[in-house]
């Protein structure tokens, strides 16, 4: 029976692995560069939760190996601890602690003491959430509400300015979830993250593209007014259609200035159904809060002229394969996938359920809004127009 040989990486190789991981390379790609499988890379990355371990450095005040060798020689020659300290220009108490914690005068050895000191320095340090239980409970509660760590950190910073014990960075939250040695936040909270992974991954850019057909008489996004482009005034929306299994679809709309999201259930993706839902939705909003709509080139808006005639709202279409031109909507759709996962039947969700999901998202603080919520910004616009 054959046994697989255990693989060891040198410190230099480990550094190269982390460099590649932080650049966004996959484990398979990293493994190939070392002529190994991804399974040999995964344990190294997973043990640290995807976070590169900090480089270990010796304190400038710590006893060095050379000093330990001098201590060992001095003890062998019968010198007193005070004499050894004087020769090393150290405090006698420093030498006394060094000798007694490493076996005493009779058993002290330089190399063994050096290794023991290095091992003792590895003792786990409590992270902030372990030291502040009220803060830990607050973070856990907000995670269960599907708030991302960055939003939690920004919200706490705004709620408690200058109150450091009630604030925590998003990196500390991620580490408390992913790093095995910490175990402060319960592992099941990972399921509430937008991407429930077992480790932190580097930031990747992912843009979807699809071959979408030509739409007659469409108006290009390049003709969209400057007030919509720079988000100077409210009322300019971005829209899309997200799909599920069994031919199920949901229309998503995001207001560009406030990032306020609304959703509508549609029977299918044919242009008549989608346009009818958009017209019905547009009539629910004041005209001042619905000035334009930006969409991709999906065939579901082939009947866009009917929408414009019924609502007096102009639709602008993005360039081919340019989802970044509807960035607010693309980002919001990724957030919505926490509640509406890919590969599921979206038709099981009632309109009331979709409204509840939208409300949950609109009540989450956003970094781009200086950690205000979309609901706060949108309601302010409603109050002005009213």
User: CA 275, CA 256: separation in Å to the nearest integer?
Assistant: 20
Q: Which two tokens stand for residue 361?
A: 């998202």
Strand pairing report for 249-255 and 261-266: antiparallel
By CB atoms closer than 10 A (0-12, 13-18, 19+), residue 119 is exposed
Q: What is the DSSP string of 335-346?
A: HHTTTS-TTS-G
By CB atoms closer than 10 A (0-12, 13-18, 19+), residue 16 is middle
Find the radius of gyration of the CA atoms of the chain. 30
The model's pTM: 0.55
Q: With H, G, I as helix, E, B as strand and everything else as coil, classify residue 170.
A: helix
Q: With H, G, I as helix, E, B as strand and everything else as coil, classify residue 20.
A: helix
DSSP-assigned beta bridge partners for residue 238: 254, 294
Select the more confidently predicted residue: 119 or 167.
167
Q: Burial letters for 185-208: b for 16+ Cβ neighbours within 10 Å, e otherwise?
A: beeebbebbeeeeebbeeeeeeee
β-sheet with 261-266: strand ranges across = 219-220, 314-317, 292-295, 236-243, 249-255, 261-266
Smallest CA-to-CA distance from 368 within 254, 264, 288 is with 254
Smallest CA-to-CA distance from 243 within 216, 208, 278, 218 is with 208
| Among the ranges given (75-84, 118-127, 152-161), the one the predictor scored with the smallest mean pLDDT | 118-127
| CB neighbours of residue 374 within 10 Å | 24
| Among the ranges given (69-83, 92-106, 107-121), the one the predictor scored with the smallest mean pLDDT | 107-121
What is the per-residue pLDDT across 321-372, written as a single tens digit (0 to 9) for each? 787 889 999 999 999 988 999 889 999 999 999 999 999 999 999 999 999 9
Q: Which two tokens stand for residue 17?
A: 């692995």
- What's the pLDDT at 229? 86
Cα distances from 131 to residues 120, 141, 183, 262, in angstroms, run 21, 17, 13, 40
Q: In the chain, what percentage of residues exceed pLDDT 90? A: 41
| Among the ranges given (31-40, 147-156, 244-253, 291-300), the one the predictor scored with the smallest mean pLDDT | 31-40
pLDDT above 80 for 225: yes
What is the per-residue pLDDT across 169-206, written as a single tens digit (0 to 9) for each? 888 888 888 775 556 787 778 777 876 666 766 654 33
């Amino acid at each position: 029976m054959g046994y697989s040989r255990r693989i060891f990486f040198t410190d230099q190789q480990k550094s190269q692995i982390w460099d590649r991981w932080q650049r966004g390379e996959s484990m398979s790609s990293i493994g190939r560069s070392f002529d190994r499988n991804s399974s040999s890379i995964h344990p190294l990355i997973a043990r640290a939760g995807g976070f590169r371990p900090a480089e270990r450095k010796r304190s400038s005040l710590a006893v060095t190996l050379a000093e330990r060798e001098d201590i060992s020689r001095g003890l062998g020659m019968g010198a007193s601890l005070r004499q050894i300290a004087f020769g090393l220009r150290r405090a006698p108490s420093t030498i006394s602690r060094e000798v007694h914690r490493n076996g005493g005068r009779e058993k002290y050895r330089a190399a063994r003491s050096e290794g023991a000191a290095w091992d003792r320095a590895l003792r786990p340090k409590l992270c902030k959430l372990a030291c502040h239980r009220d803060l830990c409970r607050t973070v856990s509660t907000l995670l269960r509400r599907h708030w991302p760590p960055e939003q939690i950190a920004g919200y706490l910073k705004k709620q408690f300015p200058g109150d450091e014990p009630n604030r925590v960075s998003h990196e500390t939250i991620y580490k408390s979830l992913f790093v095995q040695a910490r175990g402060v936040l319960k592992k099941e909270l990972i399921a509430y993250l937008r991407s429930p992974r077992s480790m932190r991954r580097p930031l990747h850019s992912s843009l979807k593209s699809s071959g979408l057909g030509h739409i007659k008489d469409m108006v290009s996004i390049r003709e969209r007014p400057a007030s919509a482009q720079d988000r100077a005034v409210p009322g300019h929306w971005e829209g899309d259609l997200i799909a599920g299994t069994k031919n199920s679809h949901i229309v998503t709309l995001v207001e560009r200035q406030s990032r306020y999201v609304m959703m509508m259930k549609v029977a299918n993706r044919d242009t008549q159904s989608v346009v009818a839902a958009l017209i019905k939705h547009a009539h629910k909003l004041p005209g001042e809060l619905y000035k334009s709509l930006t969409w991709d080139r999906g065939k579901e808006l082939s009947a866009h002229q009917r929408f414009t005639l019924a609502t007096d709202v102009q639709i602008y279409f993005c360039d081919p394969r340019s989802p970044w031109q509807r960035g607010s909507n693309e980002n919001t759709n990724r957030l919505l996938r926490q509640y509406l996962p890919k590969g599921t039947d979206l038709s099981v969700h009632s309109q009331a359920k979709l409204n509840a999901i939208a409300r949950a998202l609109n009540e989450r603080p956003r970094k781009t809004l200086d950690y205000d919520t979309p609901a706060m910004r949108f309601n302010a616009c409603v109050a002005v127009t009213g």
